Structure 1
Amino acid sequence: MKSLRFKIIVSTLMIGLLIIIGSYIVIQDIQKGIIEGEFRDKGFLVSNHLRLELTTPLLTNDLKEIKDYIDNLKNSYTDIEYIFVTDPEGIVLVHTFEDGFPVALQNLSKPSNVRKEFIYNSERGVIHEFDAPLLNDIGYVHVGLSETRVRMQIQESSDRLLLLSISAFILWGVFIFFTGRWLTEPVLRLTEGAKRINKGILDQKIEVTSGDELGELAATFNDMSETLDQKIKDLLTSKEQTETTQKYLETLFDSIDDGITVVNTGHEIIKVNESLLKMIQQNEEQLLGKSCPEMIFGVHHPQDMEGCPVSIMLRTRKPMRLLREVQVNGSTKIMEINGTLFSDSRGETNVILVLRDVTQQKALEAEIIARNRELTTLNEISKNISESFELDKILAKALENLLKLTRMEHGEAYLQDEKSGDFALAVGAGKDATYPLPKVLPPYINTTGVLTIDDPRKNPWIVTPAGSDIDTSFIGIPLKLKDKVFGVITLQGCSQHKFSMKDRELFSAIGNQLGVAIENITFYNNIKHLKEFNEEILNNVNLAIHVVDQDMNILAVNDELIKLSRDRFKKEEMINRNLFELYPFLKETNAEKEYEYVQKTGEIFQSEERTEYLGDVIYTSTSKIPVRDHTGSVVKIITVMKDVTEQRRLEDELKDSYEELRLTYLKLKELFKVKENFLSNMSHELRTPLTAIMGYSELMLDEKITPEQKHKLEVIYRNSQRLSRLIQGLLTIAVIESKNLALNIQTLPLYEMILQASEEMKMMSEIKKIHINIDISEQLTVEGDRDKLMQVFSNILDNAVKFTLKGKINITATAENEGIHIKFEDTGIGIPQDKLDKIFDRFYQLDSAESSKRGGAGLGLWIAKNIVEAHGGKIWAESKNRGSTFHVLLIKRR
């Protein structure tokens, strides 16, 4: 048997030899063709070249130049045998023969024998003569090339190529020898290693260190020998492990959760696990040997055996997977049964059935399907809400989805009127009949939420029409948002439904979703109405308004702007037009810069502008107001213009009378100063005798006098006090009007001040038998001007005593966060509600006739209000037709 190495070397050498021989033949043929082709081309080229070069010397009869030229050319090319030139008659003029012109060529020099190429044999071999006539046939040039010399060149090239081919073949043989040895050495080692492995010698490794596939193969053989060695060792212990595994599998067979049974071809149960026994609640003795179709698939008759899944599987030889309801002690369980065929050690076919209780799983799947239906319903309702603002359409679609979800027959949607609170039918779906909304339902679901009833007959307040078959199930869903109810959806059906807490949560979510939709639609309609209302205001306001964007394109205008433009443009012609294109004259003013200023700074720009438009001069008061987006950038500018042309005309007229008014003002100011001086002097002149009268009257009242004298003195004293307060009031009025009411602020005991004011009213109150009750803490203090506050308290008490016929006056004070709150309550004639604010006006009196009887000029409360407000406080009155309460709030100073 030939070795692999020998076969590789010999076959490779033969291939190389064939390649070299073929290359030699092809190259020689190509070389021969090239040389021969070049030989003929060279002959024609030289003859044509000489024809061109020798024409001029021949015309000048310069034979020496011709001789030198052809000699040089012959010496340059070794394959040129001779060159000679003749005249038109064939006489040789010059030639390159050293021994004279040969006789054999004399016949060829004749013009009649001139040809392009002529081949003939000579003593020097085969000669190719190439002839060419000179210009205008003044002579002929004859060039002879030796074919023998060319053949010698071809032979020399062939010899060199043969020598090169033989050398290449020898080198190729040496290379193939060493390469074959290098390639086959690992193979020989692998062969020896495989023989050792075959003999069972597994502890010797194959030494192949090459990094190629043979090296990997050797490593694989080494790994295989180690693996085989380990396998042999493992087989020695496999018997023990097999027994352990068998016990483990038996334990696993009995402990697995799925029920497993083995059935033979006779449909007899031959093996079961513990899980199956627990699953069908029987013991092993009851199952082994029994018919599988009867115990598991419920097949009791032999004629039905063909339809048993085990029979079908044995017949088709294919695994099976099915769901089957199995009766276990009166209850139904859903079993997932997987069956497969296997052959035992004896080759007999058996069936393994794996049973899994999927009752809970199927229940969960049903629950998931129900939830998916609910989510689909919610999604449909949400989609309808998002796509439409038509409430009737949304409610109709919601009813349709709810009826499809609940499988009920009829449904209605009622909306509540905000004013009356009544529920009116909006839309209905299902059967043609429309059922009235139970009156007790809205308040019930307002408090409890979704109402679900399986049998309305158990709820007598659910009334169904006579002859109606909708008497089984009922659902009431409030349409609400937070605590606000917008309406109710009712669903009714013939078949009985069981509603879970999740169902009620779903109905509640749908009701809330529809409530949000109703609120959004209401909000949308309000916005729409507000937009129309704003447009109406915009068009009726007495101001010209337009809105532009960042590019000065007009977005909106009102009717007043159209009027200001003298009706030159219509509103629709102005929208989306550039402001400066409509009003080119604005570019001549600073309007463009004003808009740029508003865009850059975001500030309002106000100006008064004079515009000459269509021959009229128009004065406008203009405000350019920026509108920002959420980033703070100015995106729009609202321009508000007021036509002040008439106002400017009036201003011009007013300017003419300004000087006259100024002079009048100066005169009035001088008169006012005279009045102040007069009041000051008069008050001083009047108060001096009044003080004496009051003092003497008070002293005389303490002496022993007759009752008649006492009465007269009391009248004098009261009127003197009244006149003194009137004078003091006039002085205070003058100070208040001059805005020079100075306050001497100090901390004052409130109780003492109220007591002093009541003592001043004591004589009058005792005469009218009016009790003045003071309920003020002695620790309570106020901050203010003593004289001014005493004037306030005296004026309020004076009014209370004057307008109270009998009864009492209660004075209380409390400390509050803002300050001290003082209340004067009397049981007098009261003040009408519409007069409560007017009583603090200057010279205002409730009833002039009554006031003239009781005295007073209507200045006391006006003075009191100004003094209290000068202290930063408040004064107000309350009355309910009988009795009055005056409140004084003095603010704490910080």
Structure 2
Amino acid sequence: MDRLTSQPRTALPVDTSQVFELLPDAWLIVDERYQVVLANARYRETHGVTLADIAGRSIYDINQFGSQSQRDLRRNWLDAMLPGLVPGESRLSPVLRYDTPSPKGSDGTLTPRYWQIRTSVIGPRDDAAPMFGVCVMDVTDSIAVSERDQRERAKLRSQARLRQVLVDEANAELRVHREQLRQALAFAHVGAWELDPATGAIEGSDQCKINLGLAPSEALTQARLFDELIDEADRARVKEAMERGLAQSEHFEVEFRVTWRDGTVHWILLRGLGRYQPDETLKSIVGFTLDITSRKEAELEQRAIAESEKRAREHSDEVARAMDHFVTAVSHELRSPLGAILSWTTLLQRAADASHVARAAGVIERNAHQLSHMVDDLLDSGAIATGKLSVNRRPVDLGALAGNVAEDIRMTAETKGLRLVVGELAPCVVMADESRMKQVAWNLLSNAVKFCAQGEVELSVTVQGQQAELTVRDTGCGIEPDALARIFERFQQINPESGGRVAGLGLGLWLVKHLVDLHHGSVTAHSAGRGKGATFRVALPLYR
């Protein structure tokens, strides 16, 4: 086979018949009557046939399986892909379901399979009508093996005449096949190459060099391929695949990335086979390159979609678990105050003692306030989730507001045996909705009291640069580092180390975060871990 030189080339630099055999897709060459002329190794392997099985037969008549309706659909499918095809035109068919026998079965059971073909005119012979290239793609995961009826020659010739006719036909077919293979390789954008192990020189077709991002006139060597063209992250893998294939005297196939001069990254499929001397010494390595960027990008996109769907399912499961927790929490939280109200209402109806009346009224009032807070949180939660919660901002003294909220909650803290410490309450004016900002301070303080079994809760308001900072610190159960990222999520509640359940719907801190966001501020949480308390800071821009 001629090598690529500066002189005009009349053939590929390598044996094109071997390269055609190495193509990764199944190919058929049919004549103007749509009769099969040539089929490559991948096609023969996929369909379990030899060239003699299908040569000379119409593409419409081969592969006759399945129901009559499927056969009619297949004929219509081929009618849309072959008739009227002109030079330079390429057609890609829609996907067709066409059942074929199971590749491992022997009972004739048909297996559902899906197919797609790409057709193109690959050029006429000097004295004949155009030939057509048909790339047959099995788009299912299984490999179908179909049996082909063998065809015998209809006409007997004498032994001497038959030999001469066969020799003449073989020579003619060989010339035609060489040309068809050359055109098929060019049509499929397949680049052929041959590596000389002794010198490291690589003789490659123009398409091979183009696939690697080189100009056809540039020299290609083994050193340049591995040290410059192949992406650094893929070099070791490509070398390993090549060395393993040569050591086992088998084909090797590997994918790698190259970066073209325009900065675009392309995925290349490299497939090769060693050629050996009679003494089993490696003579050369031949193979092909194919730009599979589109296919690889589709694979990566599908992989990304699968990962995205997995994350979406995991998020959905988390939301479902959070909703289950929320429903359980709501049921429990509503049942406790409602039970207390009903019990003390019943006692009021039966007892005439004035002391019981006063105590019952206090219990009913306290539980009614608790229910009111829960209903308010639920309503605010729904308004935030639908984007309907708005704030009416005006100048507010954050220090004075925080001091008032502290006094409102002091009795609750002291009843629990906690010390409420009000530190510095610097006068600082912020633009805020007063009722919403009270809700923020109340939720932070009540949350601190709730999760603090003993010790103290400290509140302070300071000025830090151009921001007012409200800080709530407690000496309670603390928060694990891995839980800090979740405490501002909806329906999330971190239980204390004791494992006992703490009252609440898991909405308080979520509401705080969204209300602070509506005021263009930020809220952060800090804790050294379990049993070491927690500190929450709300930062709001000062009003100027």
TM-score interval for Structure 1 and Structure 2 normalised by the shorter chain = 0.3 to 0.5
Q: Report which of the two has the higher share of helix.
A: 1
Higher relative contact order (CA 8 A, sep 6+): 2
Q: TM-score, length-normalised on structure 1? A: 0.24
Whichever of the two has the greater Rg, that structure is 1
